[in-house]
Structure 1
Amino acid sequence: MSNIIELNDVSFSYAPGAPRALSHVTLDIPTGSFTGIIGPSGAGKSTLANVLCGAIPHHFTGELFGATYVDGQDTCEITLTDIARIIGHVNQDIDAQMVASVVEDELLFGLENFGVPHQHIEKFITAALDAVGIADLRDREIATLSGGQKQKVAIAAILALAPRVLVMDEPTAALDPVSSRMVFEVLRDLNRDEGITVVVIEQKVALLSEFCDRIVVMDGGRTVLSGTPHEVFGHAEELREIGVDSPRTARISNSLAAAGLCPAEPPALSVDEAAGLVEGILREQGTRIAGSVRTAEAPAPAAPTTPAPRPHAAGAEPVLTFRGVSFAYPGGGASVNNLELTVYPGELVGVIGQNGAGKTTATKLVNGLLKPASGTVTVAGLDTRTAPVSRIARHVATLFQNPDRQLCKNTVLDEVAFGLELAGIDRAEARRRAERVIERFGLPAEESPFSLSRGQRQMVALASVVVVEPDIVVLDEPTSGLDYRECMTVMETVREMAEHGCAVIMVCHDMEVVSDFAERLAVMADGCILGAGATRDIFADAALMERARVAPPQVTALAERLTREASPAFAHASEVADVVRTVKELVNRA
């Protein structure tokens, strides 16, 4: 197979004397391949994407060494337009990539600039919109779309140009699980049926392991691992040291291998593979499963380790209430209808649902940026319809989807201290508190926030929220763009806030994170709350998950299947440890 892109010993730094964002990278992208690129924040993944698509050297200046060839041509010797006819690029910052105000015009822009004949434009637009499932958004104002919907528009605009290569930098970061899978299915179809070469930078390792034929791992500007998904995710300990997660099913198989119950390689990368592995272990040990004639007493279902909803302190007043709340945007958008929700101090409540369900609109009603058209929102005793936003802000802190929308200072220290100073805290005391939080997050205090990676900027924005110690913190996709290590740092910090009495409202599309940390869930669809309850009960409600178009976490799906096909002992297992412990108990009793 020939290579459509070749990097030969490529190094790059954004300024003379600056640390190298890429260091001696040699990488081939075979024609027709589907390559996933993973690595911690700051590993050089986005810089690599810029090299692949020609933005380096034609857009970003710096010191470049080595050579990059696209379809056999040195990118230093051809124009960016020439490269763009071969490679389509969707970058991390979707808003920066948008050039039009209406969805249809966004797709038209590229087609007209590439000189596509007018008689063919309609066909290209229709096919691209259908490919990502947003035909109904064709006439919508882009400003009224959710973050996930904008992501789909950006992908459609690139697909309309029919490139030979797609380079996508975290294309599903703002998408719900079902939409994320749909995007990957679209990419797979384009790769398989149209022969388009796909390169995807992504943190969602379960999707990469399922759809990619090759995984490249980066760290410190270098490529440190490369191979098939089974080969790469077989290096679980090495990946964790780097700061890269593995699919939960791989964690299960690696844990079972460490216990001597199965071979060490290859790891299970899907629910099907993990179920087959567990059932095989149980059969080999003589444990009764569906269709088996040998029996063993099944232990009681494992006690779930996911936090159960904590009882409210005696006489505690709710810190947030929604009572019959409705709101609609004048120009259309994700309206909400008759919302009912009560949150108490110290609760960590997850809000889940597909893109456009109204989750972000609900969070804006919490912090007073939007006022309900009907019903009441009460925050720490304040009616948000009458209380000024400045007063509500003393009780509610918000982390937005895009951290760049709330960063405004020249250094990380100034940024984190800014909220405290606005609240009237003495400058010296504000900086002292900020330094403590910055140290906890491992951030560079004197660097500009805007010089940091997307994940690090998210950490800075969260630090500026944590430091003010609010009564309520609203997190809109707090783990978007974060690597595994950063994600755990963020979520452990959030859990500590809840343990100290802060109510946490977390909108999140990462169902693994939701399963691990949220005590209670509210499920939204079409602007309504379809159901609310304990996390493990909500995820176990298959009918509710289907109505909301939410895919449950891998462990929940695996536990449900094993409960049905192997043993009731797997009922309610919600963590990797639950599944592994249950297998061990069943084997020991065989």
Structure 2
Amino acid sequence: MAPSSIIQLNDVSFSYAGEKDARALDHVSLDIAPGEFVGVLGPSGAGKSTLAAALSGAIPHHFRGQLFGAVIVDGQDTCDVTLTDVSRVVGSVNQDIDAQMVASVVEDELLFGLENFGVPHGEIESRLTTSLEAVGIPELREREIATLSGGQKQKVAIAAMLALRPRVLVLDEPTAALDPASTTMVFETLRALNEREGITVVVIEQKVATLSEYCGRILVLDQGRLAFDGTPREVFSHGAELRAMGVDSPRVARVSNSLAQHGLIAPGEPCLTVAEAKRLVAGLVGGVASASPRGEKNPVPEPSSRPRAAQGEPVVSFRSVGFTYPSTGAEVRDLTFDVYPGEVVGVIGQNGAGKTTLTKLLNGILHPDSGEVRVAGLDTRETPTSRLAAHVSTLFQNPDRQICKDTVLDEVAFGLELTGVEGREARRRASTVIEHFGLPAGEAPFSLSRGQRQMVALASVVVMEPDVVLLDEPTSGLDYRECMTVMETVAEMAERGCAVAMVCHDMEVVSDFAERVIVMARGEIVGRGTAAEVFSDAALMARAGVEPPQVVALSAALAEDVSPAFAGIAQVSGIVDLVEEMVRRD
């Protein structure tokens, strides 16, 4: 093994037991040096989680199958040592944090690993203190894990690994269910550990802009093979190829790549930050950008046309709604808003802002302590949940909590059968939706990837053709292609007159698909308006702890310092088209 490598994969292939003809990893060779910060991208089913399992020793010690080649960790072949031996070098944080937790209190979660590793009693206290301080949560030591936010749980999981003093951390989509602020918190923690402690970090993520900011190296897997391996600039210069395999690029990278495709700049490494993209555009348009080619500032775009009458009645109506959880005292206050047929309304804010409570009030799982919630004209306090279910279908944040059948077909048909649809007709309608999503009808849902399970759960919602669709993080854990399939389906439902309320942490998705946005913070609605209005309000974004999408931030910066013509642009194509118009006009 090369002395500069802490992990080396030598022509590694792996097939899970019972799937000999399907290689989850296919002839993968790579070296990871001590102190690297490596990001891993790829579509669902590309082999990312299998790679993480190989790096952490779960393959071959936990997962059964056929392994070819060699995985060398700190000079030792993982086939020749125990999983405990590998775990002393590599700490892993799984995709489902709740499933990884074994204790009810933070301190006990850390003690579990220390005691199982036989750490001398005299060292335990210092390891506990040091690891909690390393991730910035010493005050959470006595807290019950069930009371923590998603970001805090991630920090506890990382602290539990750090207490074992690993030299490598492998994390599988650690921020999939986290808001932008919590995502930044986790990655800043990882950066500090990487730079201060020299810990090697390998993180699987779908948030490409985040990876481009924090990682020095990006690996892209496709169909079990290593498709790209390089710096973020090198990898994201292949935007078209990445998109073809179902991998997104940062929006500012898309801007510079598109400018190159239009012949406005020479092909090369793309921009990765808003500041870089701003300098690039400013340099291109130069003096011609002092005034809008239209002679006036671009107006903020109006919501797209939807099939609702101008005087139509809302299908969802909240009026001064309040609710307090008796056990914790957490509350939402004075929630007032409407959702009309054919609208897509985004609800954004940090974890703990009250968004999920809002969804539970909407579908009748919770009843308001004060105020009134009406869905399709029905007062939720007076209407059984079973009757509300005929009007509103919900996709929960964790798909595993609403999947209960043995096959995808049975799962998608189940809701229809519960509402009295005859079995054969229910399965026919379910088959149509399953085909649209490209799902395997005969497979067991829990044999699929998390992203595919999310799509199964959404298919179960779509097939019901409800008046209202309630989506709680609909794109969590999905690759770019799956995300577009899901959201285009949601848009189609809205076009047919369905009202869509969507809680979402992906601000790019909200910007692309929501006509109106409701902003929550600390249990209250603190702002509302079109996506362009909300995301261009810097004070509101700061109050809510939300970062606007890259293109919105770029257009605002260009409007302020280059030309008012850029104001209100929310799409990559809008930026590129305007730049081309300005340059060609000159």
Query: Do both share a fold (TM > 0.5)?
Result: yes
Contact 1:306–1:517 at 8 Å: present in 2 too?
A: no
Q: Does 1:249 align with 2:249?
A: no
Match of 1:102 in 2: 105
Question: Mapping of 1:197-208 within 5 angstroms?
Answer: 197-208=200-211
1:234: how far off? 0.7
Taking a change above 3 Å as real, the CA distance of residues 351 and 5 of structure 1, as seen in their structure-2 partners, is: same
Taking a change above 3 Å as real, the CA distance of residues 336 and 126 of structure 1, as seen in their structure-2 partners, is: farther
Taking a change above 3 Å as real, the CA distance of residues 133 and 310 of structure 1, as seen in their structure-2 partners, is: farther
Question: Mapping of 1:39-50 within 5 angstroms?
Answer: 39-50=42-53
1:83: how far off? 1.1
1:373: how far off? 2.0
1:2 is paired with a residue whose SS is coil
1:116: how far off? 4.1
Can you list the C-alpha shifts for 1:125-158, whole angstroms capped at 9, x where unaligned? Answer: 4554455555554444333444444334323322
Taking a change above 3 Å as real, the CA distance of residues 119 and 456 of structure 1, as seen in their structure-2 partners, is: same
1:522: how far off? 0.8
Match of 2:433 in 1: 437
Contact 1:302–1:578 at 8 Å: present in 2 too?
A: no
Match of 1:564 in 2: 560
Q: Does 1:258 align with 2:261?
A: yes
Gaps of 5+ in 1: 290-294
Taking a change above 3 Å as real, the CA distance of residues 116 and 64 of structure 1, as seen in their structure-2 partners, is: same
Q: 191, 208, 220: which is aligned to 1:217? A: 220
Aligned counterparts of 1:239 and 1:170: Cα–Cα separation in 2: 19
Paired AA for residue 381 in structure 2: R
Can you list the C-alpha shifts for 1:495-515, whole angstroms capped at 9, x where unaligned? Answer: 111111111111111100110
Aligned counterparts of 1:41 and 1:510: Cα–Cα separation in 2: 18
Match of 2:455 in 1: 459
Q: 543, 547, 558: which is aligned to 2:543? A: 547
Question: Mapping of 1:111-510 within 5 angstroms?
Answer: 111-117=114-120, 121-132=124-135, 134=137, 137-283=140-286, 286-288=287-289, 300-302=296-298, 307-308=303-304, 312-332=308-328, 334-510=330-506
Contact 1:309–1:520 at 8 Å: present in 2 too?
A: no
Match of 1:292 in 2: none
Aligned counterparts of 1:577 and 1:199: Cα–Cα separation in 2: 33
Aligned counterparts of 2:69 and 2:215: Cα–Cα separation in 1: 27
Q: Note the aligned Cα RMSD (angstroms).
A: 2.0
Contact 1:304–1:574 at 8 Å: present in 2 too?
A: no
Contact 2:301–2:532 at 8 Å: present in 1 too?
A: no
Q: Does 1:72 align with 2:68?
A: no
2:288 is paired with a residue whose SS is coil
Aligned counterparts of 2:132 and 2:463: Cα–Cα separation in 1: 43
Taking a change above 3 Å as real, the CA distance of residues 77 and 454 of structure 1, as seen in their structure-2 partners, is: same
Paired AA for residue 567 in structure 1: S
Aligned counterparts of 1:14 and 1:386: Cα–Cα separation in 2: 51
Aligned counterparts of 1:39 and 1:128: Cα–Cα separation in 2: 31
TM normalised by structure 1 equals 0.94
Aligned counterparts of 1:422 and 1:152: Cα–Cα separation in 2: 41
1:395: how far off? 1.2
1:114: how far off? 3.0
Gaps of 5+ in 2: none
Aligned counterparts of 2:556 and 2:162: Cα–Cα separation in 1: 37
Taking a change above 3 Å as real, the CA distance of residues 380 and 150 of structure 1, as seen in their structure-2 partners, is: farther
Paired AA for residue 193 in structure 2: L
Bigger mean CA deviation after superposition, 15-24 or 525-534? 15-24
Can you list the C-alpha shifts for 1:557-586, whole angstroms capped at 9, x where unaligned? Answer: 111111111111111111111111221222
1:534: how far off? 1.0
Taking a change above 3 Å as real, the CA distance of residues 296 and 324 of structure 1, as seen in their structure-2 partners, is: closer
Paired AA for residue 461 in structure 1: A
1:287 is paired with a residue whose SS is helix
Aligned counterparts of 1:234 and 1:53: Cα–Cα separation in 2: 30
Taking a change above 3 Å as real, the CA distance of residues 142 and 391 of structure 1, as seen in their structure-2 partners, is: farther
Q: 3, 6, 24: which is aligned to 2:5? A: 3
Aligned counterparts of 2:329 and 2:21: Cα–Cα separation in 1: 44
Match of 1:513 in 2: 509
Aligned counterparts of 2:397 and 2:334: Cα–Cα separation in 1: 24
Paired AA for residue 287 in structure 1: V
Bigger mean CA deviation after superposition, 572-581 or 141-150? 141-150
Contact 1:144–1:333 at 8 Å: present in 2 too?
A: no
Taking a change above 3 Å as real, the CA distance of residues 15 and 476 of structure 1, as seen in their structure-2 partners, is: same
Can you list the C-alpha shifts for 1:27-80, whole angstroms capped at 9, x where unaligned? Answer: 111111111110000001001100000011111111111111100001111111
Contact 2:151–2:183 at 8 Å: present in 1 too?
A: no
Q: 15, 18, 43: which is aligned to 2:17? A: 15
Paired AA for residue 384 in structure 1: T
2:6 is paired with a residue whose SS is strand
Paired AA for residue 35 in structure 1: V
1:491: how far off? 0.1
Contact 1:298–1:568 at 8 Å: present in 2 too?
A: no
Paired AA for residue 352 in structure 2: G
Bigger mean CA deviation after superposition, 531-540 or 157-166? 157-166
Aligned counterparts of 1:477 and 1:109: Cα–Cα separation in 2: 32
Taking a change above 3 Å as real, the CA distance of residues 322 and 122 of structure 1, as seen in their structure-2 partners, is: farther
1:344: how far off? 1.3
1:524: how far off? 0.8
Taking a change above 3 Å as real, the CA distance of residues 127 and 588 of structure 1, as seen in their structure-2 partners, is: farther
Contact 1:151–1:174 at 8 Å: present in 2 too?
A: no
Aligned counterparts of 2:214 and 2:114: Cα–Cα separation in 1: 29
Contact 1:106–1:157 at 8 Å: present in 2 too?
A: yes
Aligned counterparts of 1:501 and 1:297: Cα–Cα separation in 2: 37
Taking a change above 3 Å as real, the CA distance of residues 309 and 172 of structure 1, as seen in their structure-2 partners, is: farther
